[in-house]
Structures are given as structure tokens and as C-alpha cells.
């Protein structure tokens, strides 16, 4: 199966299916009906059947879905069966928080290094991964064929650093800086704009109050 | 103007307008045309005109938009003119990263405390805000009329803690735990599922490779 056949709307929902199926697997659940999955995930059973039909050839009437098979297939679509070599630029609290999240590794994201400009951090390790200085970055990317870089640095530096990363072969940027990176079309950028997320929360609280006063 | 009049699609785009207008203000730009804003934000000028028409009564033909006025109006819609009392549960790297982000405060989010179970953190302060023990949480929420809680704790504890927060008056949860919180309908939850974000990045890198091989 080629992932091109699956609609973008389904793809946006896949990580959530993947998370629920992973939890079922951890609890040794082998099969689950769309009705049961529907109750857990709070989406309709018909939505689930429609979405998972994209993976065809299973989910037989009355037998439910094979959890492990579905989990594996969705993992393939999401690119989690391949190894992704990754670095983190910015070894402050946020960078270290990402580095400490071990679950990334079991999904194929191999953290190779963290980079910072603070000399006090040089040589320190986070879960065995060294913090290096920014001056070593260029050579490191080339030597380690780094595919993904997480940017947890201030917006003032983010644009320049992103361009340098891309010039040296990085394919995807996980951008936590509060700025839009205008990069070539072949570079994938996934933004996590935390302040925008907090504003949506604030908006929805205010709207709720307004509607219920 | 009541925010109920503005469509959800526009609302989702507002934080980004707010960010760009804030940057223009910092650079002392008083007026901007939809064409100029369009070039900066990489959206069409007609989209911008349509979105900002919701705020009516300005953006006169040939004069452009009054940056400060627009910024203020969008801020009001997003609830940023009101103070939001906030706490962070989990004072690990991620919790401390959020606490260190000073820009939240200038948008009305008042960080009152961080909470953790690690006794070594007790009494430590992050930008003047104390780290307290979880045993003090209940009284603290009531005394400080806490509106928003950021959850940066493992999923195993998140559900229980979220219920306790809600029972004591918290209105909105900024959820970084890898779990869906099933809370009453009057509670606003804004999820930041970082692992799902990384999977979308991985998916898009793989899809790009597939399409261009």
C-alpha cells in the first residue's frame, strides 16, 4: 500500500489511533471491535470503520480488528518503521525535556546530539546523548546524516540556524521558535507554537463564559 | 462586538495575526496594507481582507490597517485583556521551560505556582514563582482562584490530577500529558501532544521522499 492513497484528513487522525492501539497492545489486547474502540476514543464507530478501511483486508465483521496488525500498519504509514536521525538545537529546559522523552526512540527517532551556545553545558549528557557547541554543528550534521532538527532557540536565531541546517542536508524541522521559517518547498516544517496554543485555550474559556453568563 | 459573530476558522488563524501585528508594533509600524501583510504572512491579501473585515470599521481603502487598533481588538477577542491565573503541574524540564517563558505574562497569563512531588524542588523559585508540593495544591487553587493549569506530568497521574483540579474550580487545562482527559463539557482542554506532532513531521518527510523518488 502506498500512503498516497490515504486522505490528509485520515492522516491527521492516525497518530491518535496509533496511540490508542499502542496502549491496547501494552495491555495485551489482541482484538478490538470498532464499537469498543469508539467508546475509548470518543469518536463514532462509523468514523473508525471508515478510517481503518483504508488499511483494507481485515476488521472482519464480528471479529473486530487485529490490534497488533493495525498498529504496525499505521506505524509504517507514519514512517515510524524507518530510523530518523535527529538533533535538538537549544539545550535549555525545553530542549532537555524533549531529549528526556524516551518514547521517541522506540518510534525510530534516534537522538544524536543536542547543541547550545552556553559553554557551561559543553560535554554534559542527557540520557547518554552529548550536548555539543554550535560551532561543531555543521560537521556533525554531515557526519551523522541528520534528517530532523528540533529548534528550541529564540526566534532571533531560529531563521539563520534553520537555513544553515537545510544547507547541510536536514530534511525536516520541528520548530518550537515563535517565528515562521520560510524554507524551500522540499523541507518539511512542523510548528509547535506554544503561545498560540495557550491563546486558543484562553479564547475558548472566554467564549464559554460569554455564552453561559 | 461579541466574539460569537466570528467563525471558528477565523478564530484559529487569529493567534498568528496577533503575532505578526505584535512584531510590527515592536518595529513601530503604525499602518500596514493587506498586500504588505500578505507578503509577510504568506497568505493571500484577499484572505486577510476577509478575515479582518470581521473587525469592521477600519482598513480604509488606500490607508491600510491601523496596526495597534487591530492588535488590541484581536487581543480582546482572544481573551488576552483579562488576567488568567495559572499554575503548572510538574516542575520538570517542560514545566520549567513553560515557567521561564516570560511572554505569557505580558499577555495576561499570571503564573502563580509550580507543583511537583519531588521534595528536592520544594522552595526553589523559577523567575520568582515558587515550586510547591502537590499536597498544597488543593488549598492553593482555591486561595488563588486558579483558572488555568498546565499539566506536564506522566499520563499515569494526569487523569486523576485533572479531575482534582476541576473539582476545585480550574476552568481550563493545557494538557501536555500523552492521554486524552475526559472532563465535563464546561472544562476547556487544549492538548499539546508532542509525540503526535513529531509523527506528522515523520509522515510528511516519508511522503515527500515517496513522491520524489
Domain covering B3-77, topology: Arc Repressor Mutant, subunit A (1.10.10)
Report pLDDT for A61. Answer: 64
Site from A206, A210, A211 to mutate, B interface, most B CB atoms within 10 angstroms: A206
CATH class of the domain defined by B84-196: alpha beta
What was the pLDDT predicted at B5?
60
Tell me: pLDDT of A20 over 80. yes
Instruction: Give the C-alpha separation, B211 to B206, whole Å.
Output: 9
Query: Which residues between 26 and 55 in chain A have a beta carbon less than 8 angstroms from any beta carbon of chain B?
Result: 41-42
Classified by CATH at the fold level, domain A88-196 comes out as Rossmann fold (3.40.50)
Average pLDDT over all residues of chain A: 90
Residue A67 to residue A30: CA distance in whole angstroms: 5
Q: Is residue B64 predicted with pLDDT exceeding 50?
A: yes
Partner-chain residue, chosen from A180, A190, A210, that has the shortest CB–CB distance to B200: A190
Name the percent of chain A lying above pLDDT 70: 94
Residue B58, pLDDT > 60, answer: no
pLDDT score at A5:
60
Distance of CA A154 to the CA centre of its chain: 21
Percent of chain B whose pLDDT exceeds 70:
94
Q: What is the pLDDT of residues A161-203, one digit of tens each?
A: 999 999 999 999 999 999 999 999 999 999 999 999 999 999 9
Considering the entire predicted model, what is its pTM? Answer: 0.91
pLDDT recorded at residue B61: 64
**What pLDDT is recorded for position A56?**
64
In whole angstroms, give the CA distance from residue B117 to residue B78: 33
User: What's the burial of A102, exposed, middle or buried (CB within 10 Å: 0-12/13-18/19+)?
Assistant: exposed
pLDDT at site B212:
85
DSSP A110: E
What distance in Å separates the CA atoms of residue B13 and residue A25, rounded to the nearest whole number?
37
Closest C-alpha to B203, from A48, A108, A183? A108
Q: Give the residue on A whose Cα is nearest the Cα of B108.
A: A202
- Based on the number of CB atoms within 10 Å of its own CB, is B6 exposed (0-12), middle (13-18) or buried (19 or more)? middle
- Contact yes or no for B81/B108 (Cβ under 8 A): yes
Concatenated DSSP letters of B25-81: HHTT--EE-HHHHHHHHTS-HHHHHHHHHTT-S---TTT-EEHHHHHHHHHHHTTTT
Residue-wise pLDDT for B185-197, tens only, equals 999 999 999 999 9
Provide the shortest C-alpha distance from residue B203 to chain A (in Å): 4
Number of C-alpha atoms within 13 angstroms, CB side, residue A201?
Answer: 29
Where is pLDDT greater, at B57 or A164?
A164
Parse chain B into domains and list their residue ranges: 3-77, 84-196
> Taking residues B25-47, what's their average pLDDT?
92
pLDDT value at A33 more than 50: yes
Q: Helices B8-26 and B67-77, interaxial angle, to 10°?
A: 140
- Beta strands B84-89 and B148-151 are parallel
pLDDT of B120 above 80: yes
Confidence band for A2, pLDDT divided at 50, 70 and 90: very low
Write down the mean pLDDT value for chain B.
90
Q: What percent of chain A has pLDDT over 90?
A: 72
- A132's CB contacts (< 8 A; 6+ apart) are A113, A114, A115, A116, A122, A140
Chain B touched by A13 (CB under 8 Å): no
Find the range with the poorest average confidence among A22-26, A43-47, B56-60. B56-60
| CA distance linking residue A87 with residue A137, whole number of Å | 10
Per-residue pLDDT, A60: 63
Residues A93-100: what's their mean pLDDT? Answer: 94
Strand partners, B189: B173
pLDDT of residue B60: 63
Chain B, nearest residue to A182 by Cα? B42
Is B9 or B30 the better-scoring residue by pLDDT?
B30
Amino acid at each position: 500500500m502506498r500512503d498516497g492513497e490515504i486522505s490528509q484528513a485520515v492522516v491527521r487522525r492516525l497518530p491518535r489511533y496509533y496511540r490508542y492501539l499502542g496502549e491496547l497492545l501494552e495491555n495485551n489486547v489482541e482484538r478490538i471491535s470498532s464499537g469498543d474502540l469508539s467508546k475509548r476514543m470518543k469518536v463514532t464507530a462509523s468514523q473508525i470503520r471508515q478510517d481503518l478501511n483504508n488499511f483494507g483486508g481485515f476488521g472482519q465483521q464480528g471479529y473486530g480488528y487485529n490490534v497488533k496488525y493495525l498498529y504496525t500498519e499505521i506505524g509504517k504509514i507514519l514512517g515510524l518503521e524507518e530510523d530518523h536521525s535527529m538533533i535538538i538545537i537549544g539545550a535549555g529546559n525545553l530542549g532537555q525535556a524533549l531529549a528526556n522523552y524516551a518514547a521517541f526512540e522506540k518510534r525510530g527517532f534516534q537522538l544524536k546530539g543536542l547543541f547550545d551556545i552556553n559553554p557551561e553545558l559543553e560535554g554534559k549528557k542527557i540520557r547518554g546523548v552529548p550536548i555539543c557547541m554550535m560551532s561543531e554543528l555543521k560537521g556533525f550534521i554531515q557526519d551523522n546524516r541528520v534528517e530532523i532538527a528540533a529548534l528550541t532557540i529564540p526566534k532571533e536565531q531560529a531563521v539563520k540556524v534553520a537555513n544553515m541546517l537545510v544547507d547541510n542536508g536536514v530534511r525536516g524541522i520541528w520548530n518550537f521558535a515563535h517565528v515562521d521559517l520560510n524554507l524551500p518547498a522540499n523541507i518539511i516544517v512542523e510548528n509547535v507554537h506554544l503561545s498560540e496554543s495557550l491563546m486558543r485555550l484562553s479564547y475558548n474559556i472566554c467564549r464559554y463564559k460569554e455564552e453561559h453568563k
